Structure 1
């Protein structure tokens, strides 16, 4: 068996029981040899247990029908607003014009031109 260092990804795979069996044995030996990472792994296990306990009630609730329809593509898709937003373009143009005139006037004052 070749000795290798395991990454953070491997730690999470082991905690999620996704690490292949042959690598799991090597991982357990590696974890025993690295107390700092073993402590980190234990913290991850404790965090997962705390999160599951905190959200246990929410996870047991049924998914609302409205959300199921959206996820499965059964809900009608809202289209863009039918009316145009000409007023938004007009407001942007007015802001640019006011800024341009204000900049021009301020520039004249600083140049000392009359």
Structure 2
């Protein structure tokens, strides 16, 4: 692909891995130093960002859509102005030079979601 050729020509092939479709994505996210969430269009929910944060992996993403909503509450230092490639390079460089840690996000755990749903039902029934 064009992206793989660019990475090869820039001498980055030993630093970037294309893994294709995986069923063990949670383990790969946990293994990663950083996850980039940089879709061309605003995502409604930002699932990749949330999955990475749930295992304690820092996320860097454009400041738009669901990714911005999640990062603004959980990891605001990972927000980058959309399409600002210079700022993106700087923040990635910073994360490489000074690795960041993130407490695993648990606000969407099964237990928390069940507790919140029960609270809602109980408040409606009162």
**TM-score under structure 1 normalisation?**
0.26
Structure with more relative contact order (C-alpha pairs < 8 Å, separation 6 or more): 2
**TM-score under structure 2 normalisation?**
0.25
Q: Which has the higher helix share?
A: 1
Larger Rg, first or second structure (1 or 2): 1
